[in-house]
Structure 1
Amino acid sequence: MTSKNAPESHKRPVNLKIRDDVRGLIDRAAKAHGKTRSDFMIDAARRAAEDALLDQTLVQVDPDSYKHYLAVLDQPPGGDGFERLMNAPKPWQP
């Protein structure tokens, strides 16, 4: 794995074929973030790759911990924070 501070010699080209409308959308988004098209696409692809790998992460726990986890999930929400949240003014209601 290379870092984002790797020397130029470690960079390799990637060629993509995309529709004009998608390219325009990417260009507008890149400009809004003050990035080049390449930098924007690399950042977006890296984030998507990290998310895809994190979604595949397996967490193993002992049976008692798993039972406790399921019991907590089965509990109805409650507490002061939950009450405040449910009673907070809603901006979409007059």
Structure 2
Amino acid sequence: MASKPTPDTHTRAVNLRIREDVRGLIDRAARAHGKTRSDFMIDAARRAAEDALLDQTLVRVDPESYRHYLAVLDAPPDGEGFARLMKAPKPWQP
């Protein structure tokens, strides 16, 4: 007896109308990554959706915490860790 798909594994079709040149571009990119067109588009859409939602993150704090946060951002960097970082050899310098 076959088991029913769970919500995590159940897939549904999504139909898109797309210009031929864009479809060709997507197909070339998918082949370059060794993916099917569908897998490539799903991965790209998922990443774009995650980025869009992460950009919408709102952090609410009380006014005093916000003032402290701004003061920390406005203060010049200092401290032992910062001094050590600034003295460390730079990979791009001989």
Query: Which residue is equivalent to 1:65?
Result: 65
Residues 1-94 of structure 1 aligned to structure 2 (within 5 Å) = 3=8, 6-7=9-10, 10-20=11-21, 22-78=22-78, 79=82, 80-81=84-85, 83-84=86-87, 88-90=90-92
How far off its partner does 1:73 sit? 0.9
The alignment of Structure 1 onto Structure 2 pairs a total of residues equal to 84
Q: Give every structure 1 segment of 4 or more consecutive aligned residues whose post-TM-superposition deviation is greater than 6 Å.
A: none
Shift of residue 84 of structure 1?
Answer: 4.3
**Could you state the TM-score of these two structures normalised by the residue count of structure 1?**
0.70
Q: Could you say which structure has the higher helix fraction?
A: 1
5+ long unaligned stretches in structure 2: 1-6
Aligned equivalents of 1:62, 1:46: Cα separation in 2: 34
Tell me the alpha carbon deviations over residues 19-48 of structure 1, each in whole angstroms, 9 at most, x when there is no partner.
Answer: 41x223222221222210111111111111
Q: RMSD of the TM alignment (CA)?
A: 2.3
- For the structure 1 residues 43 and 84, does the alpha-carbon distance in structure 2 shift closer, same or farther, using more than 3 Å as the test? farther
- Cα drift, residue 88 of structure 1: 1.0
Residue segments in structure 1 that go unaligned for 5+ positions in a row: none
TM-score by length of structure 2 reads 0.70
